[in-house]
Amino acid sequence: MTDDTKPITPEIVEDENESKDGQLVQQSIKPDILYLIPITGRPHLPAQAQPLLVSKKRWEETLTKASKDSKNLLGLAYVREVKGKYVYKEDFPKVGCVVRMMNVVEFQGNIQFIAQGLERFRIKRFLSDKPPFVVQAEYFEKIEENANELKAYAIAIINAIKQLLSLNPLYSEEVRQYLGMFSPDQPSLLTDFAAGITTASGDDLQKVLELSSVMDRMKKVMMLLQKEIEIAKLQSKIQKDVNTQVDENKRKFFLKEQLKAIQKELGLAKDDKTSDVEKFKKKFAKLEPPEHVTKRFNEEIEKLSVLETGSSEYGVTRNYLDWITSFPWGVYSKDNIDIDRAEKVLDRDHAGLSDVKERIIEFFAAGIYKKDIAGSIILFVGPPGVGKTSIGKSIAEAVGRKFYRFSLGGMRDEAEIKGHRRTYVGALPGKLVQALKDTEVANPVIMLDEVDKIGMSYQGDPASALLEVLDPEQNSEFLDHYMDLRIDLSKVLFICTANQLDTIPRPLLDRMDQINLSGYITQEKMEIARKHLWPRLLKRNNLTSKKITITDPTIRHLIEGFAREAGVRNLEKLLNKIIRKSIVSILKEKKEKIRINIKSLEDLLGPPVFKDDNQMSGIGVITGLAWTQLGGVTLPIEAIRVHEKNSGFQLTGKLGEVMQESATIAYSYVRANLSSFKINKDYFDNAFIHIHVPEGATPKDGPSAGITITTAIVSLATGKRIKRPLAMTGEITLTGEVLPVGGIKEKIIAARRSNIREIILPDGCIPDFKKLPEHIKEGITFHFAKKYKDVFKIVFTK
């Protein structure tokens, strides 16, 4: 005996519950005073003898006193749930079980003993309401009941237990022997024993413990046993079904193996290696590979023929041959290029974008003339939601080629492009090889989406890996690391998409033919909503135009008041929201038809987000035009004189370095040319000016706000304001030159969306301006300025 298992009490009471014939008899032990311990999980029953483990720290004093004062007798009471750290007298039930403690030992900070159930008791009152708990106990009086009926129930319980034991293999032979110690003449102990061997909940067993009538207990326990038998039958059936299925699978496996062996002996079947070799040769014979591919294939087939099928090298070689024979060597789809058909497809799938469609038709025309449309890498650049990806799909349909798209956004591993080397476990070819395998032709249309969002990490630079792919002079001999074969990608039509050009490496951008998608004006958005978005959303929701209708003025109000962004993605979300809310009305109010007008639109979506009169105006307030990833936007700039204590100026609005330099140049230019603008020569000597670009939480940068900031400072210094809706864009130098800027189309569309009908542009932007479609320029007065003095005359003298 170790020091950790020292017995607490020296006195061991003899067991007095066993008669001479080996059968258990209930001993009349009914002490008035009991020490009490709570137990969780399941209550203890008089017929049970099982080990218990309790905390030494909490209950050592209780067990010691029970051993000394009560001759190893202890009260156990079932507590359903212990709320908090301690147990209180209110947590105890009214009925518990008297047990005798035997073989009490310490074990790793706990106390373990065997609790032999003896008698039910009822708590009359608490003599101590904190540990050690002491109660005054009273016991159930014996109730006279029909002996024959009790005996019948006892026999039924014994039979039920035997049936349960035959069904459930978890019960051991010792339990069977223990059951043999009970007889029908001891119904109370038998009933408690039967309840204890079930998996019933603690609450159900507590109900059995609290019943004073043996007959009522037997009825309750019979129900628990029947439930247990049904569960055991179900478990047995499930186990039998599983075993049957397993045996059937084993039988089929052995029969198949025997069949293979017999067929092999008779020469009717080949082994796996021979089958693989013949399969690969058959697949390769259907292709038209170049000579270097055929040579590599023969080498790998020869290697496969001598390898053991169980070796790892066999699996690597087999996978490699599978890729070689699945690649479409020499398989090309026939182009079906027709100018008229291409125009119909583009007009059917896209409204607006006339300049983009014209550029695509030019591309097709050049392909028809030279009988090959490969060689150009198209790059669609524009804000989200303008249809870059869908135009790529339309091009593939117009050409009659298969289409494959994968996104480059967030790609950090160059192996995604050029493949892994075969020395690595789990190596795979790059996305381009997978694209050709999936399309089953060597000249599909492959769309590289989000080319401006390629990542870079220690694993490599995917953008650099694309240089070989997208260079028409190099991609005829593209080398994938996994295939380790030269692959001709010159026949593939690559289409790339991007939201901006700043993050695309210049060498990569130099290889692409750029097409700008600037965004849509209101009329184009209305056409898109009527012809494409609304019908598609109705079909998606299993509705028709007769069920829900929307008027043209409502669509215009929706676009101008809620969806002024460059693309149409937000417009589609709003239309979908209108349909969802209309469906709710149809289901709740049982409406047969719903018509959406301007009034009901605002009931569904709330007040408009944008208003016509939202342009800021006043002295020192000028509206500029800017380009962002989301398209063109109007950019108001404010200037105010803060105080006259000292000279200087302050910038706010989360401006980037370029805009800060533009503001500094504008301030210096105005101070150097006071007389030209009729500004008091002493104005700036003591004036501290604050220049702010609203929406301070939005980062802003770019070389197009120079003349706008200059005009705001001049307006402040002269006290003159612009009394008409006017916007401008352009950079300024210290000598007053107005430099050209980009994004002219996007900026004009933004001004049109904000109902601005007069715009000042740099004189150097005239070539870009002339390329714009007439419907974008219509209704707007344009001024062109070479020097800032031209801007001053337009703004303050007209």
Any idea which residues carry the catalytic annotation?
704, 747
Taking alpha carbons only, the member of 378, 669, 615 closest to residue 513 is: 378
Tell me, what DSSP letter sits at residue 765? G
What is the CB neighbour count within 10 angstroms for residue 578?
A: 22
Antiparallel, parallel or unpaired: β 731-732 and 49-55: unpaired
CA separation for the pair 464, 462 (Å, rounded)? 5
Contact 122, 94 (CB under 8 A): yes
Burial (0-12, 13-18, 19+ Cβ within 10 Å), 411: buried
Taking alpha carbons only, the member of 264, 257, 273 closest to residue 315 is: 273
What is the CB neighbour count within 10 angstroms for residue 331?
A: 15
Tell me, what DSSP letter sits at residue 334? P
Buried b (16+ CB within 10 A) or exposed e, 205-225: bbbbbbbeebbebbebbbebb
Q: Is the dihedral of CA 20, 23, 29, 35 positive or negative?
A: positive
**150 Cβ partners below 8 Å, 6+ apart?**
187, 214, 215, 218
Half-sphere exposure in the Cβ direction for 356 (13 Å, CA): 27
CA separation for the pair 401, 446 (Å, rounded)? 10
Structure tokens at 302: 């020869």
CA separation for the pair 228, 206 (Å, rounded)? 17
Burial (0-12, 13-18, 19+ Cβ within 10 Å), 725: middle
Taking alpha carbons only, the member of 682, 725, 689, 728 closest to residue 707 is: 728
How big is the chain, counted in residues?
798
Contact 395, 345 (CB under 8 A): no
Return the H-helix or E-strand segment holding 661. helix 657-672
